[in-house]
A and B are shown apart, each in its own frame.
Chain A
Amino acid sequence: MVETTKLEEIYTVLKTVDDPELPSVSVFDLGMVHQVLVKDNLVQIKMVPTFAGCPALDFIEMNVKKAVEELRWVKNCQVEFTMEHQWSTDAITDKGKTELKKHGIAPPPENYRPGDEWTVNCPYCDSDYTSMENVFGPTACRSILYCSSCRNPFEAMKPVVIQPLNS
């Protein structure tokens, strides 16, 4: 099999491995896959964690390894979380954003810059008549908000951006 086909196969698999807390949102769509290397029947995958304190990382590592090793030609798949590259909410794909909304989680603001006001539209009714209830939510990467238009509580992905140093 040619290498490009192999890569495609692996990416197809990665799009089916969901975040343990968010069924239907894949680790690929969350932007956690940094690099896939294939050498013969060995696969090496570098991933970036969303937030460092995320307790799901071990599960994600295990699930990715297991799923990729189910491909018939793969003998071994190594998964590694790397700090060489920083995850940012910009890495979430459009599909990821759509799927997050189905869980009642608003995707992060696009093209957010540090210091900007952070407005979030309700994932249910798309109103911007919303308020932040708590920057901190049930996981490190999420906040708790409330929509005054449709009167639903919801969550939002925290924007994570590279901070300019010495600011």
Chain B
Amino acid sequence: MSKIVETAEIARQDPSYYQALRELLFQLADDDFIISFRGSEWLGLAPHIEEDVAYSSITQNTMGHAVMYYNLLEELGEGDANFLAHDRGASDRRNGAYLEKRNGEGKYLEEPYFDWALAVVRNYFYESFKKVKLEAISTSSYKPLANVAKKVLMEHPYHFAHWKLWIKQLQTSSEEAKKRIQNRIEEAWEEFLDVLELGNYGNEMVQHQLIAIDEETIKGNWLEEVKTVLVAMPEGPLGKKYGSGRNGEHTSDLDQALGTLAEVFQSDKTAIW
């Protein structure tokens, strides 16, 4: 079976295809959305001004990627893109649970003791994963999605190179930097696995050629990449301490994020921006 689905209308005709496509799109959208939100919380707090410009630019662009996926969902008939971003509860979200984790102790407006080591490790791990997944989606049977994936892949190398540089440098920097990065790597090892997974409809995604590789291959390709960069690979298997975000399992950190990011939206849902 090598069908190409050109439009939302055709995708809707096959319930099994539609369900798998919908899940995949929510994963892509929600991942980029939540990591952008956590990125936006660093605004004004990054280690130096050039990094503030760089990180906010990456975050804005990544939010733009989320918008493209929410727009595809809107075309499919899932509702208005703004509502999909702002007005869905935690259990409807499909982002990997590790991505919703708070940036550190404190709050953005009060005593934000955020941890740069977490930002570096999380973003490097995520951008490595994003490359693997998008390359597997750039040949997707759903043409509108394949087009978006190709577009994102043209912009992604800048993001990826940025975080790779950070993690490489901090791993060979001061003793404190090395230790803090390594601690966050060990921590992520126990929490990152569901990001690499495709959730309950993973088999259907592969069967319908929405994505070219299965989750085992995603995991393998991701490991190949991080192996080239990590100075000390953690022992033991990857874990998903917080459950599977792909199946709607999330932490209270996501509730906190949604409460903050949708605060203005919730104050007047009929407002026109």
Contact = CB atoms under 8 A, between A and B. Distances in A.
Contact of B158 (A88, A135, A138): A135
B64 A86 contact: no
Interface string B56-88: 011011111101100000000000000000000
A76 B64 CA distance: 28
A133 interface: yes
Given A83-B144, A83-B151, A53 B65 contact: yes
B68 A52 contact: yes
Contacts of A13: none
Contacts of A161: 154
B180 interface: no
Nearest to A84: B147
A35 interface: no
B62 A86 contact: no
Contacts of A88: 154
Interface string A144-167: 100000000000001011110110
B53 A83 contact: no
B148 interface: yes
Contacts of B38: none
B151 A140 contact: no
Contacts, number: 72
A135 B162 contact: yes
B148 A135 contact: no
A136 B154 contact: no
Interface centre among A52, A158, A161, A166 (most CB of B within 10 A): A52
B206 to A, nearest CB: 18
Classify the interface of chain A: helix, strand, loop or mixed: loop
Interface residues of A, number: 27
Interface size class of B (residues with CB under 8 A): 20 to 34
A134 B135 contact: no
B54 interface: yes
Nearest to A158: B158
B155 A51 contact: yes
B50 A134 contact: yes
A152 B144 CA distance: 43
B58 A160 contact: no
A53 B147 contact: no
A141 B155 CA distance: 9
Contact of A135 (B54, B67, B147): B54
Contacts of A136: 53-54, 57-58, 158, 162
A54 interface: yes
A133 B48 CA distance: 13
Interface of A: 49, 51-55, 83-84, 86, 88, 114, 133-140, 144, 158, 160-163, 165-166
26 contacts: A49-B151, A52-B65, A52-B152, A53-B60, A53-B61, A53-B65, A53-B155, A83-B68, A83-B144, A83-B147, A88-B154, A114-B157, A135-B158, A135-B162, A136-B54, A136-B58, A136-B158, A137-B53, A139-B57, A140-B64, A144-B53, A158-B158, A161-B154, A163-B153, A163-B154, A165-B135
